Amino acid sequence: MQAFDGVDEATGARTWTLESPRLTLARIAVDRGASTTQILARLVGTVAGVPEGDVELEMRCAVCGARHGVPVVDYPATPSGGRWIADVAADGGLAVAAVGTHRLGVAVGAAGPEGATVDAAAFHPGELERLSAAPEGERAALRTAMWVRKAALARALGHGAFLEPARVELGAPDGDARVRLERGIPELGAAWRDVLVHDVPGNGRVAAAVAVLP
């Protein structure tokens, strides 16, 4: 991760601000009493420069209106009058929130059930090769990280695009914990090279990632 901003002494949140595209992330232990909605509202308020209590979030899908998917930020607007894009996820005692101006998705969790059939459905053959080549003691953590990256990308795409996980090949993270697609897929069009998935430090129980679309 780049551009670590620091730790909020009141909440314990660790924050990062990344560029190209601009993105602000917060990572916080969820045993501190705040709900995921409060965590996200606090981050949106910080980024937009408004009080947390003024932030208006609709926990509904922007496509169908059901209570799933990435929340909608009804207020405030961006400086240009557009919408902030924000998401939050929590599992295993860890919450991660993200705010930016590009479509994004957050995922926090452990990997799904182990097994050859599950892995064949979840991972691209190239990913399975990297997984099998990893040292045995590192394989479980790598599998979890790979699984969560896929989940974040699927959340960023939303239910408007049907995405078979095994058709998507994500590469290994670079020195800044950024992961890119190894090859294009129709759902992402010609801009697939600009898709970024950021690894967020986990807590030993779960992994976390934020996917950002061009």
Dump pLDDT digits (tens) for 60-90. Answer: 776 676 777 789 999 999 999 999 999 999 9
Residue 21 pLDDT class (50, 70, 90 cuts):
confident
Dump pLDDT digits (tens) for 48-62. Answer: 999 999 999 998 776
Q: How many domains does the chain have?
A: 1
Q: Token digits for 200? A: 């967020």
- What per-residue confidence (pLDDT) applies to 158? 84
- Considering the entire predicted model, what is its pTM? 0.91
CA–CA dist 152, 171 (Å, integer)? 15
CA–CA dist 11, 8 (Å, integer)? 6
Residue 162 pLDDT class (50, 70, 90 cuts):
low
- The CATH code of the domain that includes 56 is 3.90.470.20
CB 84 within 8 A of CB 99: yes
Q: Specify which residues 25 forms β-bridges with.
A: 16, 98
Helix (H) or strand (E) holding 98: strand 94-100
Domain span including residue 85: 4-212
Dump pLDDT digits (tens) for 74-133. Answer: 999 999 999 999 999 999 999 999 999 999 999 999 877 888 889 999 999 999 999 999
Is 80 exceeded by the pLDDT of residue 146?
yes
